[in-house]
Amino acid sequence: MMRRLRAGTLVLSLLLGGCALTPEQADSRIDRLVDAAISEWKLWGQTRVRERDDGSLCAVLDATELPARAETPGRTAGEICLPVQDGCGRELSSRYCPLVNRYWPGVSPYRHPCTLTDLCVAQRPAGMAPVHTEPWSAAFISYVVRQAGLGWFRFTASDTHADYVAAVRDGLMPDFVLLTTPLRPQRGDLLCLARGPSRGITPDQIDAIAPAASGPGFTRMHCDLVVGLDPARRVAMLIGGNVAQAVSLREVALDERGFVQWEAPPRPGWLLALRLRAARASPLTWRTTIPDARTP
């Protein structure tokens, strides 16, 4: 317990200023977006994920969160990193499931079935059937945008990422611009990838992205919010919903120029970023928020 408290204290101590920012980065709308995402991340216990060699994600868990089993894969000193199975993880626990249902209003009548009470942390017990839940990462982004004060007329809120990506591409969300990878991410960017059957889309095929209204063949995507950059370690830190069945923070590697590059499957394959246009009268501030995403 003390170990987790120390780690949390370290993370909170690094939510500070100290870097000269460009007017784009200093925009108060970006501050509000990042603050809203970090506030939700704290409510979820500051969950972290790590990318494995095959491109999949595992949730970084304290050793006390799982039974002490020497054969547990992914165990290192004091921690375990495990893939989280569908119908398990924090999204269906008694503590965190109600948080998911705060994200749905305004984008879908669906609600999570909060009937499980901490039956599993990452892997289902033998004989336990998975509980089907709807993907909620786009609902989370829409909620964060709403909390940041960007109204519906400025953001196409949806439970489908492709809806607001296509809206920016088609000029229907003038507060945002769409940039394809390779790109140098900035704090406040929505960094997006294609997933599932849509993973083959490349950065030069953005015109092929289809919103949900196009029917069952709409483009499956996932977007996270860039909340910090660590140039020394060449990583961007992102917070997103429904990442390892939680609101989680992940690191994305940057190249030597500080760019995110698209990579072919099975790598995540970051396609694009949605970036707020600079406000014309945006005051220059000296504030940034960089969570420490390094695992203990």
pLDDT band at 26 (very low <50, low <70, confident <90, very high): low
Picking from 96-100, 111-115, 190-194, which range would have the lowest pLDDT averaged per residue?
111-115
Determine the Cα–Cα distance for residues 60 and 50; give it in Å rounded to an integer: 7
Instruction: Read off the pLDDT of each residue in 105-123 and give the average, rounded to a whole number.
Output: 85
Q: Which two tokens stand for residue 107?
A: 């984008």
User: Would the pLDDT of 102 be above 50?
Assistant: yes
Q: Please state the rounded mean pLDDT for residues 263-273.
A: 91
pLDDT in tens, 224-256: 999 999 999 999 999 999 999 999 999 999 999
Mean confidence (pLDDT) of the chain: 82
pLDDT at 272: 98
State residue 141's pLDDT score: 98
Strands 235-240 and 57-62: unpaired
pLDDT tens for each residue of 38-87:
999 999 999 999 998 888 899 998 766 665 443 444 445 567 888 998 88
pLDDT tops 80 at residue 89: yes
For 67, which DSSP code?
-
Nearest to 155 by CA among 209, 163, 116, 72: 163
What would the two tokens of residue 187 be? 């704090």
Please indicate whether residue 174 or residue 3 has the higher confidence score (pLDDT): 174
Q: What is the pLDDT of residue 64?
A: 67
pLDDT, residue 1, reads 39
In this structure, what token pair is assigned to residue 225? 């919010």
Where exactly are the structural domains of the chain? 19-57+135-276
Cis omega (within 30 of 0) for bond into 211: no
C-alpha closest to that of 92 among 124, 116, 58, 128: 116
Residue 242 to residue 232: CA distance in whole angstroms: 28
pLDDT, greater one: 284 or 110: 110
Length of the chain: 296
- Distance separating alpha carbons of residues 90 and 101, to the nearest angstrom: 13
